[in-house]
Structure 1
Amino acid sequence: MRLVAVADTHLFHDDLRLPPGDVFIHAGDMCRRGDLEELERALDWIRGLPYRHKVIVAGNHDWAFARMPGRARALLGDDLTYLEDSEVVIDGLRFWGSPWQPAYGGWAFNLPRGGPLADKWARIPEGLDVLVTHGPPEGVGDGSSVAGRMGCADLRERVRLTRPRLHLFGHIHEDGGLWRADATCYANVTTWECERAATVIDIDPHAITEVHVPPAR
């Protein structure tokens, strides 16, 4: 199965050239302001992509999923899979998605560090093939020149405990890349308004192989 993963497109998606694959994954921040009109534009783009499966997680700019969840989900239709602390199985592989991140700047899906975030991460089950979150875990793909390391320590600890084979995320525009640690392959798949290309990864029951991991900004 070939995964083509992006994040932080912020409605610049027309500038993004995507390679072939089986599953398209958007790890959040499809929008800028995040209203329903912006979300509809982003979803129309994703719906038109030539992938058999399309998996979406909301980001801190995707306000419609937080403020008007029913109306936002109604825009998805039957061909887009939105994950919010939930799971989907695709061709025998388990995917789990979650939109939360440590509070910063008053955006959507913010929660205080510590208990509130840990409660969300506690829902992540063991045995996952692919975990998709909008924000990064602490110490991996989370370096920002503005605020230093911004990842979540409780997310990193939950990943260590549950050991998903692959953890995809975005949110931090400056630290895209791929790393292997704690029995998990981590990838910050940000495209930062399409200045950075999509990340392409092959996954099967036995191996995870990076096909194309663009350099960080």
Structure 2
Amino acid sequence: MTYLNDSGVEIEGINIWGSPITSWFNDWAFNRNRGGEIKKHWNLIPDDTDILITHGPPFGILDETVYGKRTGGEELLLRVYQVKPKYHIFGHIHEDHGSFTKGETTFINNSILDD
């Protein structure tokens, strides 16, 4: 097992990067304020990342709560568009699970619980 905390691992030539950080949501662990505080974490994502694993979703992609609020990270979305990983896998917003492909990236909200 490899715990990815703003870090990566290469497995059989596939570059995987992971982070538990998420945009502020309630009073949970690994929360960061939007803007510069969270952007410094996303800037660590290497440009050659094939699979990106984050706790929370990017803004506007499988991030809608049961109350209709979008909770994903704007800064994360911008970094994903720059890096263009093959897959971006996340959870956090249980009620918007599923997958969605945009451009070169397949986004997967793999939450397995309801809200």
| Secondary structure in 2 matching 1:84 | coil
Q: Does 1:152 align with 2:73?
A: yes
On the 8 A contact 1:160/1:182 being kept in 2, the answer is no
| Alpha-carbon separation, structure 2, partners of 1:133 and 1:182 | 19
When Rg is computed on C-alpha atoms for both structures, the one with the higher figure is 1
1:11-38 Cα distance to aligned partner (Å, 9 max, x none): xxxxxxxxxxxxxxxxxxxxxxxxxxxx
What's the C-alpha RMSD, in Å, of the aligned pairs? Answer: 1.4
Asked if 1:163 corresponds to 2:100, the answer is: no
Cα deviation for residue 147 of structure 1 reads 5.9
Q: Provide the C-alpha distance between the structure 2 equivalents of 1:97 and 1:181, rounded to a whole number of angstroms.
A: 20
Q: For this pair of structures, how many residues does the alignment match?
A: 115
Q: Distance in 2 between matches of 1:190 and 1:154?
A: 22
Normalised TM-score (structure 1)? 0.51
Q: CA deviation at 1:146?
A: 3.1
Offset, 1:145: 1.5
Secondary structure (helix, strand or coil) at the match of 1:123 reads coil
* Residue 24 of structure 2, aligned match among 103, 116, 119: 103
- What SS does the corresponding residue of 1:119 show, helix, strand or coil? helix
Q: List aligned pairs for 1:132-147, cutoff 5 A.
A: 132-146=53-67
Give the secondary-structure state (helix, strand or coil) at the position aligned to 1:161. Answer: helix
Name the CA distance, whole Å, in 2 between partners of 1:147 and 1:110. 21
Q: Structure 1 runs of 4+ off > 4 angstroms?
A: none
Equivalent residue number for residue 182 of structure 1: 103
Aligned counterparts of 2:67 and 2:38: Cα–Cα separation in 1: 22
Look up the equivalent residue of 2:66 and give its one-letter code.
Answer: S
TM-score, normalised relative to structure 2: 0.95
Amino acid of the structure 2 residue aligned with 1:154: E
| Post-superposition offset of 1:182 | 3.4
The correspondence of residues 25-44 of structure 1 with structure 2, limited to 5 A, is none
Q: Match of 1:82, SS?
A: coil
CA deviation map 1:119-156 (0-9, x unaligned): 11000011111100000000111010236110000000
Secondary structure of 2:37's match? helix
1:149-197 per-residue CA deviation (whole Å, 9 max, x = no partner) reads: 10000000000001111100000010111111132111001111xx6xx
